[in-house]
Structure 1
Amino acid sequence: MIHNDKESLQPFLDQEHDAQDGSFELPELNTNNQIPAGGGRNSSPYDPADGEELSGGRHTIEKPRLISRRSCTRAILFMLGAQVFSASMNVSIRLLENTETHLHPLQILFVRMSITTIGITAWLWKQQKANNILGRPENRKLLLMRAIGGFLGVFGLYYSLRYLNLSEATVITFMMPLVAGLGGYLFLNSPLPRVQVVLSLLSLSGVVLIAAPDAILPWSLSSKPVPTPSGLTTDEATATLIKRLQALAVGLLGVCGSAAAFLSMSGLGKAEDPLTVVNYFAALCTVASLAGLFVLPGLGGFRAPGDWWEWVLLCFSGISGFLMQFLITLSLQAEKSLVAVNMVYTQIVFSLVLDGVVFHIIPHAMSLFGCALIVGSAVLLAWHKTRAQRKAGNIEDGP
């Protein structure tokens, strides 16, 4: 989201999750530098006037506002690596969906998410966080809503990759922040600035340009015969247009699901470990995709890849998905400001390059213009929110 899944951790950044918090807590010490038997309330030698806040018998000491350049660089590299793995995963998915076996997106999703679930569960267990696997009981409804929305989001991306170029399917996921803002306005009574409405309309215009670029060109309004791309007949071109529109509709449904997941995570705040949230999402996707393979008509259950190359692609998609999530987590833990988060927009560059190198596809000029509208709207929205938060004093300036 952005591989679609890549937005799954940003609310924890905005909510100042413990792993990224700009402060740390120390138990109160007595004059002998020992913790008093009763917790030592009101016995600390520290003076709150020195810039420390007393809260519940514990001192919160703000770290100096010296953001390490090394940690910032490391966070950016982690995020860039995550985008490389995300784009590579999407390439492997598109290759699998267009092989002779024609693996269904649900099957690819099952393999990828099962690997992610096993990897994150093992990591939580190794870090002695086994209690975080299922989350806290009071948060499980929001965790389930986040997982369902995330499933719709990733399925929408996988399905759209069947009929859209890699760059086109990727850039549509960048509409998620705009849709999330609209959802917050409709369901949570959140404010909806006028600039966000304008940017949403610009994004929708970009989607229209991506959907049917040939239908918007001047020659389509003339009386001359309508040319067809790549030597296709008129009927074949019409069928291709219909499939593109179907893929676009499912992709937009996925964007709505991702927005619902984003709002659910905003409700969770910092109440759960980020990996717990991702693990919930991956586990539900594993179960739902496997059930869909056997329940939905025409799929016929799990279909084995046709040859060793398809097996390699299938395993690579799962490993890449896990590494993407893991690197995003490391990036957000390494650096607190929005510098690294904004690196998600580099995925469109990787997607365009891979479209040309792997699939030998150069997107239509109108599609590129539509991509530019969507990416530009997303970047402007991020800049507008960051500026508003800085004016309110809610975030620190980056280095």
Structure 2
Amino acid sequence: MNTPPVNIAPVAPSGAAQAAPRADRPLLAISLRLCAMVLLATMFMLVKYVGEYGVAATEVMFWRQAVTVPLVLFWLGARGQLGVLRTTRMASHARRAATGTAGLFCNVTAAMLLPLSEATTLGFTTPLFAVLIAAVVFRQPVGVWRWTAVVLGFVGVLIISQPGHEPVSPWGVAAGLGAGLLVALVSFQIRDLARTEAPICCVFWFAFYGALIASLLLPTSITPHDATEWALLIGVGVSGTLAQLLITFSLRFGQVATVVVMDYTALVWATAYGWLIWDRLPSAATWLGAPAIVAAGLVITWREHRLSRAISPGSSLEDV
């Protein structure tokens, strides 16, 4: 029996403004998402590279967020659109930023500790955690297709982590799975905010509060940098900002079920960077486990589309 579609997003405050509907432009949406995945893979490559210089994950996380704030302000100011940042939901933005910053820390840590292909693959577990959250927290009925996808996905995780053999970094695996869980939680918060807030407003306040949160950790981790390290840190911030903007705006022109499939192309770029820069291709375990995780995500996306959801929690790379 098919599971009936249930809107699991929290209801926006009464009287909240609704965004004007936009006509779908699927080719544009897919193109934006593909470009975002190139930038996202580039960001994590730079994260891993700067980590090899000894820069702490907490400092990388700060610069990833801090660079976004002036970039967004400059762009909106040049267009005379600073007013779009006004909001009556500052507490919601702060809560989203707290969860998203924790997820970003996990993503950065996984990129530093794991080969890029493995770290990227573990990031694809977000749809699996989203299904678990929907079932356990929101009490949404979940049918056999999505439960099967969850089991298949976590079998893939077990294969990649290689228990009983020579494993990849257990802390890296834990960070990758933590990122998947936290970004899934953020997806539900974003769904709520998207009812009343412009995408660029969500991006800005996430970066603003995220930088404030990360700055609290700077005294314990900041170190002097040479020109190369500063260039890498700024590159992390710029590529991450552009990736997040393109991910966000791709959803203005296409349904999640259409564009989210493009997220898996990030694995292609991560593998290419791993080979070109570190002369490392994915292990045999990754070649076996990654298809299981990707297939699980595709099944969940397909079911979301079949159940006619307006917005799916499977947008796995919203906070980067």
Match of residue 248 from structure 2: 329
Q: Which residue of structure 1 lines up, in the alignment, with residue 146 of structure 2? A: 196
**What SS class does the counterpart of residue 217 from structure 2 fall into?**
helix
Deviation per CA, 1:188-208: give whole Å up to 9, x if none: 222222222221122111112
Q: Which residue of 1 aligns with 2:45?
A: 91
Shift of 1:91: 0.5
Residues 250-299 of structure 1, C-alpha deviation per residue, up to 9 Å, x if partnerless?
Answer: 222222211111111222342111111121211122112121122xxxxx
Q: Distance in 2 between matches of 1:193 and 1:135?
A: 38
Matched, 1:271 2:202: no
Q: CA deviation at 1:158?
A: 0.5
| Structure 2: tracts of 5 or more residues without a match | 1-8, 10-17, 312-320
Match of 1:142 in 2: 92
Residues of 1 paired with 2:94 and 2:178: CA distance?
18
Question: Are the equivalent residues in 1 in contact too, given 2:104–2:179 (CA < 8 A)?
Answer: yes
Superposed, which structure 2 residues align to 1:110-189 within 5 Å? 110-133=62-85, 135-136=87-88, 139-189=89-139
Q: 1:286 aligns with which of 172, 191, 211?
A: 211
The aligned counterpart of 1:375 is 294
Which amino acid letter does the alignment assign opposite residue 127 of structure 2? P
- Paired residue total: 295
Q: Could you tell me how far apart the structure 2 residues matched to 1:301 and 1:244 are?
A: 22
**1:303 to 2:223 alignment:** yes
Deviation at 1:82, TM superposition (A): 0.8
Superposed counterparts of 1:1-12, under 5 Å: none
Q: Which has the higher contact order (CA 8 A, sep 6+)?
A: 2
8 Å CA contact 2:19–2:196 kept in 1: the answer is: no
**Corresponding residue for 2:14?**
none
Q: Per-residue CA shift, 1:104-137, capped at 9, x if unaligned? A: 111111112111122223334444443443522x
Give the one of 249, 254, 257 matched to 2:182.
257
After superposing the two structures, state which structure 1 stretch, 87-96 or 120-129, moved more. 120-129
Q: 1:337 and 1:325, CA in 2 relative to 1: closer, same or farther beyond 3 A? A: closer
Q: Which of 66, 80, 84 is the matching residue for 2:34?
A: 80
Cα gap change, 1:253 to 1:329, in 2 (>3 Å): closer
1:10-29 superposed matches below 5 A = 18=19, 21-22=22-23
* C-alpha contact (below 8 Å) 1:20/1:332 kept by paired residues: no
Between the aligned residues of both structures, percent identity stands at 25
1:320-399 matched pairs, under 5 angstroms: 320-336=239-255, 338-389=257-308
The alpha-carbon deviation at position 353 of structure 1 amounts to 1.4
State the shift of 1:337 in Å: 6.7
How far, CA to CA, are the matches of 2:221 and 2:298 in structure 1?
41
**TM-score, length basis structure 1:** 0.68
Q: Sort the Cα spacing of 1:19 and 1:75 in 2 relative to 1 into closer, same or farther, 3 A.
A: farther
Q: Distance in 2 between matches of 1:278 and 1:265?
A: 10
Measured against aligned partners, the alpha-carbon deviations of 1:350-390 in whole angstroms (never above 9, x if no partner) come to 11111111111111111221111111100111011112218
* TM-score (norm. length: structure 2): 0.84
CA shift for structure 1 position 301: 3.9
Q: Which amino acid aligns with 1:211?
A: S
The AA in structure 1 aligned to 2:57 is P
1:210 and 2:210 aligned: no
Distance 2:263 2:295 in 1: 13
Q: Report the counterpart of residue 39 of structure 1 in structure 2.
A: none
Q: 1-side partners of 2:272 and 2:236: how far apart?
A: 18
Inter-CA distance 385–347: structure 2 relative to 1 (3 Å threshold): same
Cα offset, 1:171, TM superposition: 1.3
Any unmatched runs of 5+ in structure 1? 1-10, 12-16, 23-66, 217-236, 295-299
How far, CA to CA, are the matches of 1:345 and 1:106 in structure 2? 27
RMSD: 2.4
Q: Which residue of the partner structure matches residue 227 of structure 1?
A: none
SS in 1 for 2:142: coil
CA deviation vs aligned residue, 1:128-156 (integer Å, no higher than 9, x gap): 443443522xx333322221221111111
What one-letter code is carried by the residue in structure 2 that aligns with 1:18? A
1:195/1:18 Cα in 2 relative to 1: closer, same or farther (>3 Å)?
A: same
Structure 1 segment 60-71 matched on structure 2, within 5 A: 71=25
Query: Secondary structure of the residue that 1:103 maps to in structure 2?
Result: coil
Alpha carbons 1:142, 1:265 under 8 Å: kept: no
Could you tell me how far 1:317 is from its partner in structure 2? 1.0
